[in-house]
Amino acid sequence: QVQLVESGGGVVQPGKSLRLSCAASGFSFSAYEMHWVRQAPGKGLEWVALLSYDGNNEYYADSVRGRFTVSRDNSKSTLYLQMNSLRPEDTGLYYCARGRDAYYKYCDYWGQGTQVIVSA
C-alpha cells in the first residue's frame, strides 16, 4: 500500500534553515510527480511546491519561491524540501503528497505531515 512518511520538522528561529524529508513506499516513486502542501495552525491548505518525476521541473508558491527548494532522490524513494530564511508565517504542518495524472495533477495520497514552528 502507498505510504508517505514525512520527517525533519521542529522548532527553528527566524532566518534559519530546515530540511524536510518524505519517505515513500508501496509504489514506483520515480514515476510520480510529488507535491508539498502546508497548513498553518487553524488555517486552510496552502500548496507549496511540485517536483516532476525526474526532478527536472520545479514549481513553487509565490510565498516560498527563492527560499524553498524541492528535490528528490529516486534511488532512495525520498522527497525533500529545503527551507531557508524561514519566517514565522512558515509555521505549520507540512504534508507531502503523491501527484497523479500529468494533466490534472491531483494529490491522491498524503502523508500525515511534519510540524514546523518558526519562532524566536
Partner 1 sequence: DIQMTQSPSSLSASVGDRVTITCRASQSINDYLNWYHQKPGKAPKFLIYAASTLQTGVPSRLSGSGSGTDFTLTISNLQPEDFGTYYCQQSFSAPYTFGQGTKLEI
In the bound state with partner 1, the residue whose beta carbon lies nearer, of 15 and 26, is 26
Residue 31, SS3? helix
Whose Cβ is closer to partner 1: residue 3's or residue 13's? Answer: 3
Nearer to partner 1, 16 or 100 (CB): 100
Which residue in the block uniquely carries the three cell numbers 529516486?
74
Q: Which is nearer to partner 1, 75 or 103 (CB)?
A: 103
Please tell me the distance from the alpha carbon of residue 72 to that of residue 80, in angstroms, as a whole number. 6
* Minimum distance of partner 1 from residue 117's CB (angstroms): 17
Task: Give dist(CA 46, CA 99) in Å, integer.
Answer: 15
**Which residues contact partner 1 (rule: CB under 8 A)?**
35, 37, 44-47, 50, 59-62, 95, 100-101, 103-113
- Please choose, from the candidates 39, 51, 48, 47, the residue with its C-alpha nearest in 3D space to the C-alpha of residue 99: 51
Q: Whole-number minimum distance, CB 105 to partner 1, in Å?
A: 4
13: buried, middle or exposed (CB in 10 Å: 19+, 13-18, 0-12)? exposed
Minimum distance, C-beta of residue 120 to partner 1, in the bound complex (Å): 27
